[in-house]
Structures are given as structure tokens and as C-alpha cells.
Amino acid sequence: MIYIGLTGWGDHYSLYPAQIKPKDKLSEYSSHFPVVEVDASFYAVQPERNAAKWAADTPGNFRFVVKAYQGMTGHERKEIPFESKKEMFEAFKQSLRPYQQAGKLAMVLFQFPPWFDCRKENVTYLRYCKQMMGDIPVALEFRHQSWFHRRYRESTLSFMKEEGWIHAIADEPQNGDGSIPIVPEVTHPDVTLVRMHGRNYHGWVKPNSKDTNWREVRYLYNYNEQELLEWKHRIEELSKFSKDVVVLFNNNSGGDAADNAKQFQKLLGIEYEGLSSKQLGLF
């Protein structure tokens, strides 16, 4: 099955009536899409009550892609609120239990930072992460192109297959070492993840100037039909080798993600069943 959704559910204003309360957004979101990426988990390990509420707010066949906590991926290089890495991983796994109990955890996404390059100590750390996560499905997204350099590409893909990592395929601007090329390869027979970051070449790299709010413009991009058609063919090919394919649109700096996701769903001819039927009133 092909699952199409968005990263987060708070900012996609075109999906919601003007009077909607924040606590009702996920329920309304799940009337549009069958999957979502949880971004809050990247900034802090979430209390179980949050996951329990989110699981309860969505229909039975809804799925969550939960982003790994930044301390686990090395984004947070300052002091973390845990005594050890083991404690950090255990706390994070505990936060996943409501999703698991509801049968709604699609995977955990480990997105590593641009400085996490292809070298022995980082490969060792990937093995550690996989070991700590046990049988929880985990996806891997790189942000340093060395992993897919001509010299290492096949070794990287073989490593992911052997270790049981789900490939998180990225569509993003090709602007320096912090850009990953499109590598449409399946590494896990059960599921493949595709993340659509947009192609804002000039906004992708953090500028030296402090005048620009870089994070607000980095994902400013609206995919055109030809670009989506290119991905239609890729997704159809990936589906031959992967039971499920999850496609998440992350190009929301200008609010384009939701419209592109719906356009892509139409191009693929998909009509989802079992979406939330909740209708919000005026008050």
C-alpha cells in the first residue's frame, strides 16, 4: 500500500476550518491523510500521554512515523537530560508504547545531521542505534552525501539491508555535501520511506547572514506536475519490491505540502478508505 501524508499536522492551514482548536487538528488531519510524521519527538522525548491522545484521535488504520529524539541522532551536542545513552534510548522507547499498543507505529525515523559523514565510528554508532531499538522498525535518512558517494553507495545500501534499516529516500536540492542524491533503492521488504523536502536550492544551505530566518524558507517549494509525475513512476517501481511505501511531504515553508500531497494522491489514483469521518461544527 502507498501511504501519503505530511510532516506534522499543526501548520497545514489549508486543511482546517478557521475556528479549529489546536487539540482538534490531528483528528481533522486524519480525515485527509492516513499517515503523519511526529516532529515533536525530535525536540523532546514525549510523555506517553501525548502519544496515547494522538493514537486515540485517529482511526484504526492510521499510522505514525515518529522522528527520533535529537540526542539520539547527534543534533543536540550540548548536555542532554539523561544520565546515559542507554537511559535516553529506553525513555524514548517507553514513549512509543501507546503507538505500538494501538498498532499504529509505522516506524521511527533516524535523520542524521549534515556532519554525520561516512566513517567507521559512525557506522559503529548506527549498529548501536539498531541494537538499542530492538525489533522496532527504524528508518535511516542521511544528510551527508558521502554515504552515497560512488565509492560507498553499494556498501551503504548493503549495510542497511543487512542491519534491517528502512531506507528513507530523500528528494531535496543538490547543494553541497549536505545534500543527498535521489537513491530509489529498497532496503527492507516491508516498507520504504520517501521524504519530499522540496528543491529550494538557494534556501537549502544555512546562510552566513543573520537577517534571514533560514528554517522558515528552507522548505519553501511547490512541486510542479512534471516533478510529481517523475516520483509517481519511482513510487510505482518501489512498490514492486516493498510491501508498503510511505511518502511524506515536508515542503511546508509556504504551505505547499498539503496541496502537493493531494495532487500526488490524485496522480496515483489513490482513494483512501477508513479515514476519520469527524465533522467539526462551528462552535
Mean pLDDT over 25-47 rounds to 96
The total of other beta-carbon atoms located within 10 Å of residue 168's CB is 24
CA distance 141 to 170: 7
What type of residue is 54?
Answer: W
The C-alpha atoms of residue 114 and residue 144 are separated, in whole angstroms, by: 5
| Residues in contact with 86: Cβ distance below 8 Å, sequence separation at least 6, in sequence order | 132
Neighbouring residues of 214: CB distance < 8 A, sequence distance ≥ 6: 203, 206, 207
Q: What is the pLDDT of residues 216-227, one digit of tens each?
A: 677 778 999 999
CATH superfamily name and code, 2-268? Protein of unknown function UPF0759 (3.20.20.410)
Given a contact cutoff of 8 angstroms between Cβ atoms, the answer to whether 171 and 197 are in contact is yes
**pLDDT at residue 13 in the model:** 83
Point out which residues pair with 37 in neighbouring strands: 7, 65
pLDDT in tens, 212-267: 565 667 777 899 999 999 999 999 999 999 999 999 999 987 789 999 999 999 99
Residue 41 near residue 95, CB atoms below 8 Å: yes
**Cα–Cα distance measured from residue 112 to residue 42, given in angstroms and rounded to the nearest whole number:** 11
Exposure on the CB side of residue 111, measured as CA atoms within 13 A: 23
According to DSSP, the β-strands at 105-111 and 191-196 are unpaired
Q: Are 95 and 88 in contact (CB under 8 A)?
A: no
CA angle 165, 169, 171 (to 5 degrees): 160
Q: What is the pLDDT of residue 179?
A: 85
User: Residue 162 burial (CB < 10 Å; 0-12/13-18/19+)?
Assistant: exposed
Grid cell for residue 98: 501507546
Q: What pLDDT, on the 0 to 100 scale, is given for residue 164?
A: 97
State the Cα torsion 230-271-195-110 to the nearest 10°.
-150
Burial 2-33 (b: 16+ CB within 10 A, else e): bbbbbbbbebbeebbeeeeeeeebbbbbbbbb
Q: Measured between alpha carbons, how far is 118 from 148 in angstroms, rounded to an integer?
A: 9
Averaged pLDDT, 153-159: 97
Distance (Å) of CA 258 to CA 22, 78, 119, 134, 254: 17, 34, 37, 33, 10
Q: What is the pTM of this model?
A: 0.92
Mean pLDDT of 176-198: 93
Q: Supply the DSSP string of 133-170, one letter for each residue.
A: HTTS-EEEE-SSGGGGSTTTHHHHHHHHHHHTPEEEEE
Averaged pLDDT, 44-48: 95
**Distance from the first to the final alpha carbon of the chain:** 37
CA–CA separation, 101 and 201 (whole Å): 41
